[in-house]
Structure 1
Amino acid sequence: MTAAHPAQALEAAGLARPVADSSFDRIARLVQRQLGVPTALVTIVLPDAQVYPGALGLPDPFQATRRTTLTEPLCGTTISMGRPLVVEDLRADPVLSRTATVTELGMGAYAGFPIFDRNGIPVGTVCALDSEPHPWSSTDLATLADLAASCTAELRLRLERQRAHRIQKVAVHATRRTRLLLELTERFAGATTLEETVEAMRASAAGIGTMWAGMALLDPSGTALTLVEREGTYPHLARHWPLTHPAVAAATRTRRPAFFRDGAAVLRAMPTFAPWVDESMGAMAFLPLVTDDRLLGLVALLWRGPHDHDDENRRTAAALATSVTQALARVRVLDERHRVATTLQAAMLTDLPAVPHLELSSTYASATRTDKVGGDWYDAVVLDARSCVLMIGDVTGHDMQAAARMGQLRSMLRTLVWCQAGPPAELLHELDHANIGLGLAASGTALVARLDCTDDDGCRLTWSTAGHPRPVVVRADGRVQELAGRPDLMLGFAPSTRRTDHTADLARGDTLVLYTDGLVESRTVDYAVRADELYRALQDLASCPTADLPRRLVERLVHGEQRDDVAVLAARVR
């Protein structure tokens, strides 16, 4: 195909065939009807002929064959001009009267508008013809212009469709590799732990036909590699490989992948590898994982039989190694961030004080995802020998800022508790005022519970909650009771909101349990169902020592990947 005459593209798109086309025939009917002419054509001009995918009123045999080989046809003249050709009386024109349109087709009037391909090159016409002279009105010409534009749009659509098909056909090989790379990207994009990275690596390796894939990471000593997992491992494959091991020495020393067609190729390159490899083994590849010129580890791939490593296979393997390396680097960064945040958070969760009439115990469990850290907290302040205040809360967010805001909010409440003798509702009210007034503006939930104990009658509990889950009491006889009381608005939105105190009595042996919502919330299970699970777990653990209760409660209710932090605070009346 040349820019001067795009006949090849027209042929490929099926527009150079002398056959009727329903879309172009429809346009010809519109021309005939709107302009009141006996003949209307949609013409495609080829180097040696003219074809009519849309035609009405052509004399025989042209109407049936949809093709002519006229010399110097008027549609050709229209194309060469690149603009409309309009003639009311062809026979009166000394030049046009001798054209084949007049002499062979018997036409007396012509109005034609060019149609263009996707490059703006005229390749055909939409035209109206009459056997007698015909005065063309401005409305006639405007109609032809609109219909020619419709033909151009249809023509370009088909040419683009054909071009896209050709490109797809030519690039099918590259597309397959691109799809593999996209799958690599998708698999590794969500990997935030070493386990997820290994799973993504194994799935990606299976996609290129391997029977097994393993990842070995560099030991802290920097002298050996250790396989992360052994599932599906070839029985004779070692778990620990010194960097001098013949299987990995070349790849780790040169930092370049090593590919072997089969076991025989491995033995030819590394005869000392004979104890672990025989000639019947399949292909192998060792891909070093390198970032900033620092070796992180190595990916080993094993195929079931011989495998020729062509350029595409090597590029895909290199992309796999790059994806694994980037995921490992991300995991290390997230691990470090999580470690810093949890250390900060744990440092702010001080040890619980000793209380004469109570046994106190707590636990804090951070989310298992390394890119998450929460704002869950708890605290206890002893007021005197008979009174103490327990606090628990959850600041909105799962990042370092949430942990920092949690520390500030907790410290403010701790100070208020120590300096003021007010009830819990008043303390939460003052806390929210300070939260907004001092510019912290943290949002979240909190619960304050005051316990006033006597030697004989147990304890009087007064509590107030700012959007936090209500307290649960495990009675001495094993009954589990969620305390009644409507939670008030959470912190950080309306500091002037009225807050309410609620009361309850705790007898000797009763256990007060405070917790954050990470203990019971689930994306897949109804809250009511999870609450029932909490009550059943507390019934089963009713006789559990106070020191173990929070930890065992978390173990009982939180399974698999923990998406949110959890804090539990328990107080048992002695």
Structure 2
Amino acid sequence: MTAAAAVQALVAAGLARPVADESFDRFARLVQRQLKVPTALVTLVLPDAQVYPGALGLPDPYQATRRTTLAEPLCGETVTTGRPLVVEDLRADPRFAGRETVTQLGMGSYAGFPIFDRHGTAVGTVCALDREPHAWSATDLATLADLAAACTAELRLRLERQRAHRIQKVAVHATRRTRMLLDLTDRFAAATTLDEIVDALRASGSGLGTVWAALALTEPGGSALALIERDGAYPYLPRQWRLSDPAVASVARARQPAFYRDGAAALRAEPTWSDWVDPSLGGLALVPLVLDDQLIGVVVLVWRGPHDHDDENRRTAITLASCVAQALVRIRVLEDRHRVATTLQAAMLTDLPAVPYLELASTYASATRTDKVGGDWYDAVELDPRSTVLMIGDVTGHDMQAAARMGQLRAMLRTLAWCQDAPPARLLRELDRANRGLGLTASGTAVVARLDRTGPGEPATDGVGGAGDGCRLWWASAGHPRPVVLRADGRVEELPGRPDLMLGVDPSTVRRDHAAELSPGDTLLLYTDGLVESRTVSFAERVRRLHDALRELRGCPTADLPHRLVERMVHGEQRDDVAVLAARVR
């Protein structure tokens, strides 16, 4: 290590200050006591001065100030050579007689040994001085050498401790920066809407010490930037920047970030900003968002007071802008997928038929954090003026692949219902065989319900009496929740009958039909398990709550009933798709 670097290390460790140090004063006392001299020093040699962290017997004012600026100090020679310097009579030696150590400090003899830093560079001395000539004995010099070695060990310990502290500080700072960057990544990775990106930007900006963090996006046509409003959070920023503005062009067109210490510095660089930048404004940064060499926006950061942008601050701001850009790209992809998914779902969930004797209504709500399309479905097929088949099902999964399998399964069942005048159990059995035989091998659950209009005098399913103008219901379940009936008088019944094996397991399984009667005003409800499933509440309890909700909604119009039920039953983040199909006998 060079002498300059060694001195810099002393300064950084706080050892180069002209103040008394208890440990080094103790070394000076040992020198004074063992060598029986009036003056003993521990000296550190700086480029323009000598400081004495350990000192006894210096003349005033040097003992108090612990500092001298001697032109040719004897300790300086010891440091330069890295070897001891021993002179019995300074005044008699022409090399030293004229030096300030003799003329100003009044010293007559000198013995000094160097002390070294951890790299072996001499940085100071342990020395004994006498005002008269002094014959330094071998024991004196050996003692001085031992004390210099001990002083070197103390100095090295101090420097190593300071170095360890500095390394720890750097590590802590690096850890904090890493955590902040991870937090940035997590915040923006969780954002799925533009508002969530703006919220994440504001939260992340506060981690940088900013008071405002704003996002401006390029408008269609690319001629201007428009500020994304969010709760009136940016009172100091314009709502629109024209890209033709020279001040904006320096950032937007050059694709280079701009950093300003304060408003005054920004105005000196960009006078056209005077409409919105006040000289009293704090630090300011504008960082462009670039994707495939196209400007998609600008992140604007504002600090409360003047802010000096060091390299790390600049890198962090640029990283923040990169996270924003990636999040913007991701939500655009999600929006595209959502449009595709919505189109696919709309194509699969056709409009319900107009059945003269039934009021039909349905709803579909996809799970959150998915492609907004899934494996739940419903359908209704009017076979003739007196017969209608209702279907609802849930194919395993709630993503685009599940939707594709659902579409095929639904189409097959729809075709079977139309082409075969068969009871529900047979339709489910034929569907399961086709599912296996055609290689679809989808798994899932389904309910098929057939409603046959009954007129006055027609026998009920139990053969006891007429059913009036109601409906005879036949239904079968492949592992699906049983139908529920809201009676006209407000009673809620879960229809009796055990669901059979789900689809996609064993096509040869026996499936059974179940019968029930619906009177005018009764409402049949078919639903998928997303309506009642919960990780914290039992299935039975959730079904009971569904019954309570139905009773409370008995006066609700049929058209609103499915949607109102979903509102009542599903809260917070929806983990599964939900489909509801209601049929009320007119």
User: What range describes the TM-score normalised by the shorter chain of this pair?
Assistant: 0.5 to 0.7
Question: Displacement of 1:221 after TM fit?
Answer: 3.5
Per the alignment, do residues 424 and 331 of structure 1 end up closer, same or farther by CA in structure 2, a change over 3 Å counting? same
Task: Report the equivalent of 2:436.
Answer: 436
- 1:433-512 superposed matches below 5 A: 433-455=433-455, 456-512=468-524
The CA deviation string for residues 41-73 of structure 1, in whole angstroms up to 9 with x for no partner, is xxxxxxxxxxxxxxxxxxxxxxxxxxxxxxxxx
Q: Once structures 1 and 2 are overlaid, which stretch shifts more, 415-424 or 368-377?
A: 368-377
Separation in structure 2 between the aligned mates of residue 485 and residue 362 of structure 1, nearest angstrom? 24
Per the alignment, do residues 164 and 274 of structure 1 end up closer, same or farther by CA in structure 2, a change over 3 Å counting? closer
8 Å CA contact retained: 1:335, 1:370: no
Per the alignment, do residues 497 and 242 of structure 1 end up closer, same or farther by CA in structure 2, a change over 3 Å counting? farther
- 1:169-180 superposed matches below 5 A: 171-180=171-180
Is 1:545 aligned to residue 557 of structure 2? Answer: yes
8 Å CA contact retained: 1:520, 1:530: yes
Task: Report the equivalent of 2:579.
Answer: 567
Q: Which amino acid in the other structure matches residue 179 of structure 2?
A: R
Task: Report the equivalent of 1:426.
Answer: 426
Separation in structure 2 between the aligned mates of residue 295 and residue 571 of structure 1, nearest angstrom? 53
What is the DSSP-based 3-state SS (H/G/I as helix, E as strand, rest coil) of the residue aligned with 2:558? coil
Task: Report the equivalent of 2:567.
Answer: 555
8 Å CA contact retained: 1:541, 1:549: yes
Separation in structure 2 between the aligned mates of residue 420 and residue 454 of structure 1, nearest angstrom? 21
Question: Displacement of 1:246 after TM fit?
Answer: 6.8
Equivalenced residue count is 413
What is the DSSP-based 3-state SS (H/G/I as helix, E as strand, rest coil) of the residue aligned with 2:574? coil
8 Å CA contact retained: 1:192, 1:371: no
Question: Displacement of 1:444 after TM fit?
Answer: 1.2
- 1:89-100 superposed matches below 5 A: none
What is the DSSP-based 3-state SS (H/G/I as helix, E as strand, rest coil) of the residue aligned with 1:342? helix
- 1:114-125 superposed matches below 5 A: none
Question: Displacement of 1:485 after TM fit?
Answer: 2.5
What is the DSSP-based 3-state SS (H/G/I as helix, E as strand, rest coil) of the residue aligned with 1:254? coil
Is 1:209 aligned to residue 209 of structure 2? Answer: yes
Separation in structure 2 between the aligned mates of residue 274 and residue 383 of structure 1, nearest angstrom? 74
8 Å CA contact retained: 1:376, 1:394: yes
- 1:150-165 superposed matches below 5 A: none
Per the alignment, do residues 169 and 305 of structure 1 end up closer, same or farther by CA in structure 2, a change over 3 Å counting? closer
Identity %: 74
Per the alignment, do residues 236 and 205 of structure 1 end up closer, same or farther by CA in structure 2, a change over 3 Å counting? closer
Q: Which amino acid in the other structure matches residue 567 of structure 1?
A: A
Separation in structure 1 between the aligned mates of residue 169 and residue 278 of structure 2, nearest angstrom? 42
Task: Report the equivalent of 1:192.
Answer: 192
Separation in structure 2 between the aligned mates of residue 522 and residue 472 of structure 1, nearest angstrom? 19
8 Å CA contact retained: 1:509, 1:573: yes
8 Å CA contact retained: 1:473, 1:510: yes
State the TM-score, normalizing by the size of structure 2: 0.66
Q: Which amino acid in the other structure matches residue 447 of structure 1?
A: V
Task: Report the equivalent of 1:226.
Answer: 226
Task: Report the equivalent of 1:152.
Answer: none
Question: Displacement of 1:194 after TM fit?
Answer: 2.8
Is 1:363 aligned to residue 363 of structure 2? Answer: yes
Query: Please, which runs of 5 or more residues in structure 2 have no aligned partner?
Result: 2-162, 456-467
- 1:248-259 superposed matches below 5 A: 248-259=248-259
State the TM-score, normalizing by the size of structure 1: 0.67
- 1:19-168 superposed matches below 5 A: none
Separation in structure 2 between the aligned mates of residue 168 and residue 398 of structure 1, nearest angstrom? 49
Per the alignment, do residues 164 and 459 of structure 1 end up closer, same or farther by CA in structure 2, a change over 3 Å counting? farther
Separation in structure 2 between the aligned mates of residue 568 and residue 500 of structure 1, nearest angstrom? 23
Separation in structure 2 between the aligned mates of residue 563 and residue 217 of structure 1, nearest angstrom? 33
Q: Once structures 1 and 2 are overlaid, which stretch shifts more, 536-545 or 372-381?
A: 536-545
8 Å CA contact retained: 1:194, 1:328: yes
Per the alignment, do residues 212 and 481 of structure 1 end up closer, same or farther by CA in structure 2, a change over 3 Å counting? farther
- 1:276-425 superposed matches below 5 A: 276-369=276-369, 371-425=371-425
Separation in structure 2 between the aligned mates of residue 546 and residue 271 of structure 1, nearest angstrom? 65
8 Å CA contact retained: 1:212, 1:232: no
8 Å CA contact retained: 1:193, 1:370: no
Per the alignment, do residues 222 and 562 of structure 1 end up closer, same or farther by CA in structure 2, a change over 3 Å counting? farther
Question: Displacement of 1:549 after TM fit?
Answer: 2.0
Q: Once structures 1 and 2 are overlaid, which stretch shifts more, 255-264 or 428-437?
A: 255-264
Question: Displacement of 1:170 after TM fit?
Answer: 5.2
Per the alignment, do residues 467 and 243 of structure 1 end up closer, same or farther by CA in structure 2, a change over 3 Å counting? farther
Q: Which amino acid in the other structure matches residue 312 of structure 2?
A: E
What is the DSSP-based 3-state SS (H/G/I as helix, E as strand, rest coil) of the residue aligned with 1:319? helix
8 Å CA contact retained: 2:370, 2:398: no
Per the alignment, do residues 203 and 377 of structure 1 end up closer, same or farther by CA in structure 2, a change over 3 Å counting? same
The CA deviation string for residues 419-441 of structure 1, in whole angstroms up to 9 with x for no partner, is 22222122112211111111101
Separation in structure 2 between the aligned mates of residue 503 and residue 283 of structure 1, nearest angstrom? 76
8 Å CA contact retained: 2:474, 2:515: yes
Question: Displacement of 1:258 after TM fit?
Answer: 1.8
Task: Report the equivalent of 1:535.
Answer: 547
What is the DSSP-based 3-state SS (H/G/I as helix, E as strand, rest coil) of the residue aligned with 2:210? coil
Q: Once structures 1 and 2 are overlaid, which stretch shifts more, 242-251 or 178-187?
A: 242-251
Per the alignment, do residues 490 and 451 of structure 1 end up closer, same or farther by CA in structure 2, a change over 3 Å counting? same
Question: Displacement of 1:278 after TM fit?
Answer: 1.7
8 Å CA contact retained: 1:192, 1:370: no
What is the DSSP-based 3-state SS (H/G/I as helix, E as strand, rest coil) of the residue aligned with 2:564? helix
Separation in structure 1 between the aligned mates of residue 329 and residue 285 of structure 2, nearest angstrom? 22
Per the alignment, do residues 524 and 411 of structure 1 end up closer, same or farther by CA in structure 2, a change over 3 Å counting? same
Per the alignment, do residues 444 and 235 of structure 1 end up closer, same or farther by CA in structure 2, a change over 3 Å counting? same
Per the alignment, do residues 331 and 164 of structure 1 end up closer, same or farther by CA in structure 2, a change over 3 Å counting? farther
CA RMSD of aligned residues (A): 2.6
8 Å CA contact retained: 1:334, 1:370: no
Q: Which amino acid in the other structure matches residue 383 of structure 1?
A: L
Q: Which amino acid in the other structure matches residue 432 of structure 2?
A: D
Separation in structure 2 between the aligned mates of residue 370 and residue 488 of structure 1, nearest angstrom? 30
The CA deviation string for residues 21-56 of structure 1, in whole angstroms up to 9 with x for no partner, is xxxxxxxxxxxxxxxxxxxxxxxxxxxxxxxxxxxx
Per the alignment, do residues 195 and 468 of structure 1 end up closer, same or farther by CA in structure 2, a change over 3 Å counting? farther
8 Å CA contact retained: 2:378, 2:581: yes
Task: Report the equivalent of 2:182.
Answer: 182
Q: Which amino acid in the other structure matches residue 386 of structure 1?
A: R
Per the alignment, do residues 557 and 281 of structure 1 end up closer, same or farther by CA in structure 2, a change over 3 Å counting? farther
Per the alignment, do residues 509 and 313 of structure 1 end up closer, same or farther by CA in structure 2, a change over 3 Å counting? same
Separation in structure 2 between the aligned mates of residue 472 and residue 259 of structure 1, nearest angstrom? 65
What is the DSSP-based 3-state SS (H/G/I as helix, E as strand, rest coil) of the residue aligned with 1:537? helix
Larger radius of gyration: 2
